Amino acid sequence: MLMRTDPFRELDRVAQQVFTGAGTWSRPTAMPMDAYRQGDEYVVAFDLPGVTADAIELDVERNVLTVKAERRPSGADEGVEMQVSERPLGVFSRQLFLGDTLDTENIRAGYEAGVLTLRIPVLEKPEPRRIAVTAAEREVGRIDA
Query: Would residue 112 count as lying in a domain?
Result: yes
If one counts the domains in the chain, the total is: 1
CA distance 109 to 54: 13
Residue-wise DSSP of 69-133: EEEPPP-PPTT---S---S--EEEEEEEE--TTB-GGG-EEEEETTEEEEEEEBPPPPPP-----
- Which one, of 39, 18, 42, 38, lies nearest residue 30 by Cα? 18
CA-based nearest residue to 42, from 2, 10, 6 = 2
Residue 56: what pLDDT?
95
The mean pLDDT values, 10 residues at a time, for the chain of 145 residues are 56 55 55 92 93 93 92 73 79 90 94 96 82 80 60
> Which range of residues forms the domain containing residue 14?
7-74+87-121
Give the CATH number of the domain where residue 102 resides. Answer: 2.60.40.790
Tell me, yes or no, whether 130 lies in a domain: no
pLDDT of residue 75: 64
Q: Which residues lie below 8 Å from residue 132, measured CB to CB, with a gap of 6+? A: none
Does some domain include residue 135?
no
Closest C-alpha to 22, from 73, 58, 95:
73
Q: What is the pLDDT of residue 87?
A: 77
In a domain, 142, yes or no: no
